[in-house]
Amino acid sequence: MNMSLAHLVALRELARRGTMVAVAEELGYTAGAVSQQIAALEKAVGSRLVTRVGRNVVLTDSGTVLAEHAVKILSAEQSALDALRAVHDDVAAPLLLGTFGSTAAALLPPVVAAAQRKYPHLALSSRELDVDEAATAVQRGQVDVAFGLDYPNSPMPRTPDIEMITLRSERFGLAVSSGAYGIRTEGTIDLREAAEWNWILPPAETQFGRAVRIACRQEGFEPIVRHEIVDTAVSLALAGKGLGAAPVTDMMIRLNSSVPIIRVDLEQEIGRRIVLIRLAGSETRPTVRAITDIVRAAVDPASTTAEKI
């Protein structure tokens, strides 16, 4: 008996999700059907791939090794299908792009428009994601590529099966209302001058919220968070009403240009990177290669290269 791709998909998902039930939910099977697929794969390769620990199953060493190869085999299968489509239709396969709030507003329209002009047969679609879940969504195959945000002082976890291409680096300032904290014009301050200010931040468990809090702690203080808000538009609206200071980048300001705020620059360099997340090795897929070039040009028209991290 030979290994089937369906069996390898089940093993790959079991390695990612950890339980038969979670795999069944993802693939639309019953837990029993997933168990049968794993059993059939064990028979095909002549080795135990899972073992039971209490009520759960875990991969054996053999299962772990085969799961790593399953990711490569399934990626190669997708590349082969894309290449076959490309023979007849150039870049024509479906591709699902993951976005989050601000990229959806600022970058998605030009990316879609450019893709339609350059590759009319490319079936590009998009899905909004929680930005902190973007890498996981790519790993799980829920999207093909995704925009993400990476913070130098609180970086995304790096895994061998994921690569991140830096598209743009941005520097944070603070958004305040005119007259708040004695500020009436744009200027530059030391972050420590904001130690007694009220802050508007995302929750501490988010990458953004964690990164800002780390920056403050490095300067010797804990920010006084009066409002925990995820939505940038709401944060800046509160800042515009004098209810606190909110971290802000140029792109955030452009997307909320009607809000009456003053941007205060910081002497400290606190930043983030807008990245494109894709599976390692997926640049061999014509669709992924094409959308990478389109996204890079949309973010920075002058760029000709992208940094992989």
What is the model's pLDDT at position 38? 86
Distance of alpha carbon 208 from alpha carbon 27, whole angstroms? 32
Q: What is the CATH number that goes with domain 173-269? A: 3.40.190.10
Cα-Cα end-to-end distance for the chain: 40
The DSSP 8-state label assigned to residue 279 in this structure reads: E
pLDDT given at position 85: 62
CA distances from 16 to 47, 68, 147, 158 (A): 20, 10, 21, 15
Tens digit of pLDDT at every position of the chain (309 positions): 577 888 888 888 888 888 888 888 878 888 888 888 888 888 888 888 888 877 778 888 888 888 888 888 887 787 777 666 665 556 767 889 999 987 777 888 999 999 989 888 888 899 999 999 999 899 888 899 999 999 998 888 888 888 999 998 999 999 999 999 988 888 999 999 999 999 999 999 999 999 999 999 999 999 999 999 999 999 999 999 999 999 999 888 888 888 899 999 999 999 999 999 998 888 878 888 889 999 988 876 544 444 444
pLDDT at 5: 85
Same fold, 5-84 and 89-169+273-299: no
Which CATH architecture fits 5-84? Orthogonal Bundle (1.10)
3-state secondary structure of 257: coil
Sheet of 173-176: strands edge to edge?
187-189, 262-266, 173-176, 246-248
Letter string b/e over residues 49-82, b meaning 16 or more CB atoms within 10 A of that residue's CB: bbeeeeeebebeeebeebbeebbeebbeebbeeb
Domain borders along the chain are: 5-84, 89-169+273-299, 173-269
CATH class of the domain defined by 89-169+273-299:
alpha beta
Taking the C-alpha atoms of residue 292 and residue 105, their distance in angstroms, rounded to an integer, is: 18
